[in-house]
Copies of this chain bind each other. A is one copy, B any other.
Amino acid sequence: MLRLKHLPIDTGKENIVFIHKRCPEFQTEDSNMTANRVEIHGGLQPLFASVYICEDETLVKPDEIALTDQAFHLISMPEGSEVAISPAPPPASIDSVRRKINGGILSAKEYRSIIADLAAYRYTPIELAAFLVSNASFMSPQEVLSMTEALIEYRRPADWGIDLVVDEHCIGGIPANRTTMIVVPIAIAYGLCMPSTMTRSVTSCSGAADAMEVLANVELSEEETAATVNEIGGCMVLDGQRLAMSATEDLLMSLERALGISTPQQIVASILSSKIAMGITHLLVDIPVGKTAKIRNMSEAMSLRKLFEYVGDMLSIKIDVIVTDGSEPVGNGIGPVLEARDVMKVLRCREDAPQDLREKALFMAGKVLEFDPQLRGGQGYYQARDILDSGRALEVMSQIVHAQGKQTPPPLGQLTRDITAETSGIISEIDGQILNRIAMTAGAPADKGAGIDLLKKVGDEVEQGEVLYRIYACKPTSFAFANGLAEGDCGYKIMSSGVTY
């Protein structure tokens, strides 16, 4: 038996423990394949952890086992408790991952085993990365369904007691595009139930949750979420169960973030499992298509649509897929604070509100309203516009913000830099990926006030020296890096207006 010790080290999502070199219970040469992974017994269930061997008794004595923050939190036992350890074999489902790497197609049972092992922390981050990347290269529709079902098994599906529960999801990949924060208040004002779950950014400078968090608390418990939905008819929150659950998807997401990959197949599995767990019956999926968006062309968009429809049908969730223009950012602000600002301008029907954001949100809200069988086909858009223009959507937004917990919006970054046009002409292209990278380098989404404010969009005429956009940053280093990036390639293409044909 070893005595439990807590070492206050933050190792992120990894269960890491320290064992002394002369620990009698653990010998590195015990079994070369499993030497660095142990099972710790004594808590409610065995805890899997990676082992670092150390020689410093101030860290860990030979009769101790030192758990870093995450592992100590999970084992939920006081320091000094006695625990036993045993070498942990690699999880059996790793064989399936290997098969997948070699081009195999996995069965539903294999996905279930993998997700079960993930949920029990039996995968090392490296093995998890292997699973993620092997899936990224190819997944059959049946595999996507299997993975979705496996993820749902770890959830407790919400039941709102009604037949029509709507939500929408955008595949993203283009900056800004904060339609959800406008669609939800409209749908609720119309009378639909729309318990919307959002995510923080995975591979971009801002996710819907990052922008919403500028205005309101988004980290609600399951109970708080239910209370908000029952009171108002909807919410805009982080997936509460996902926060509470055994971190499988969190782990997958943090890895996706670390690797900068998120493939359509894994998006379908992750989105649908999360929406179904939230009790959603009707889902609008927006696929923006553009040269620098996540989905590059119509053919990719069509396969993704069919994949959503196939998995949705099998899991009895009604899915409506729309394909939209993803050739440039929607709205002007890029980064949490700037995006929240645009949303509020639209909700307040301000004259300087970005019209592209308003129109796209109305189009989508119209589609969501038309999930209502009572509504005459084609009337959704007009209903949505009336609700927005009457101020009822703004009122609902204010109810949501108060129910979830109003936040004082953080200030915009104090460090600003104007990026200007090098030549005169007409803006022909805006590269969303470059703007995204500049905004991230400027500090978004961690620095909520960092980002980019677009002053010109595609089709606008500019004079040489006119401002194209403004960079906002909160920290000098980030600011300098972002400026450097923008100086290298500002992301805009300007076509001389005197085109010769």
Chain A residues at the B interface, C-beta cutoff of 8 Å: 7-12, 18, 21, 29-33, 36, 52-56, 58-59, 68, 87, 90, 94, 97-98, 101-103, 124-130, 132-134, 136-138, 255, 257-261, 263, 440-441, 443, 445-447, 475, 477-478
- Interface-centre pick from A59, A129, A477 (highest chain B CB count, 10 A): A129
Give chain B nearest CB distance to A13 CB in angstroms: 11
22 contacts between A and B (CB under 8 A): A7-B59, A8-B54, A8-B55, A8-B56, A9-B18, A9-B54, A10-B21, A11-B52, A12-B36, A31-B446, A31-B477, A32-B445, A90-B260, A94-B259, A98-B260, A101-B261, A102-B136, A126-B259, A130-B261, A133-B133, A133-B134, A134-B137
Bound-complex Cα distance A446 to B31 (A): 7
Bound-complex Cα distance A31 to B480 (A): 13
Q: How many copies does the complex hold?
A: 2
Residues of B within 8 A of A258 (CB): 124, 126-127
Bound-complex Cα distance A133 to B101 (A): 7
Bound-complex Cα distance A87 to B30 (A): 38
Bound-complex Cα distance A261 to B127 (A): 11
Are B101 and A137 in contact (CB-based, < 8 A)?
A: yes
A sample of 7 more A-B contacts (CB under 8 A), given A30-B477, A94-B259, is A7-B54, A8-B55, A29-B446, A31-B441, A94-B260, A98-B260, A129-B133
Residues of B within 8 A of A54 (CB): 7-10
Are B126 and A31 in contact (CB-based, < 8 A)?
A: no
Chain B: which residue is nearest A36 at the CB level? Answer: B12
The 4 lowest CB-CB distance pairs between A and B, nearest first, are A32-B446, A8-B55, A9-B54, A133-B133
- Interface-centre pick from A32, A55, A255 (highest chain B CB count, 10 A): A32
Given contacts A94-B260, A102-B136, A133-B101, contact A125 B127 (CB under 8 A): no
Given contacts A125-B126, A127-B258, A259-B130, contact A10 B52 (CB under 8 A): yes
Bound-complex Cα distance A53 to B128 (A): 22
Give chain B nearest CB distance to A210 CB in angstroms: 10
Bound-complex Cα distance A107 to B260 (A): 20
Of B101, B126, B259, B447, the contact of A29 (CB 8 Å cutoff): B447
Are A255 and B7 in contact (CB-based, < 8 A)?
A: no
Bound-complex Cα distance A36 to B14 (A): 13
Given contacts A133-B101, A136-B102, contact A56 B9 (CB under 8 A): yes
Chain B: which residue is nearest A260 at the CB level? Answer: B98
Residues of B within 8 A of A128 (CB): 126
Residues of B within 8 A of A68 (CB): 52
Residues of B within 8 A of A261 (CB): 98, 101-102, 130
Bound-complex Cα distance A44 to B138 (A): 43
Residues of B within 8 A of A8 (CB): 54-56
Residues of B within 8 A of A125 (CB): 125-126
Are B259 and A9 in contact (CB-based, < 8 A)?
A: no
Of B94, B134, B259, the contact of A98 (CB 8 Å cutoff): B259
Are B10 and A103 in contact (CB-based, < 8 A)?
A: no
Give chain B nearest CB distance to A199 CB in angstroms: 15
Chain B: which residue is nearest A6 at the CB level? Answer: B56
Chain B: which residue is nearest A255 at the CB level? Answer: B126
Bound-complex Cα distance A94 to B87 (A): 34
Of B33, B59, B136, B441, the contact of A9 (CB 8 Å cutoff): B59
Bound-complex Cα distance A272 to B369 (A): 63
Give chain B nearest CB distance to A95 CB in angstroms: 8
Residues of B within 8 A of A58 (CB): 58
Give chain B nearest CB distance to A382 CB in angstroms: 41
Given contacts A58-B58, A87-B477, A137-B103, contact A9 B53 (CB under 8 A): yes
Residues of B within 8 A of A11 (CB): 52
Are B475 and A30 in contact (CB-based, < 8 A)?
A: yes
- Interface-centre pick from A59, A133, A477 (highest chain B CB count, 10 A): A133
Are B101 and A136 in contact (CB-based, < 8 A)?
A: yes
Are A127 and B30 in contact (CB-based, < 8 A)?
A: no
Give chain B nearest CB distance to A292 CB in angstroms: 14
Of B10, B90, B94, B103, the contact of A53 (CB 8 Å cutoff): B10
Residues of B within 8 A of A36 (CB): 12
Are B440 and A33 in contact (CB-based, < 8 A)?
A: yes
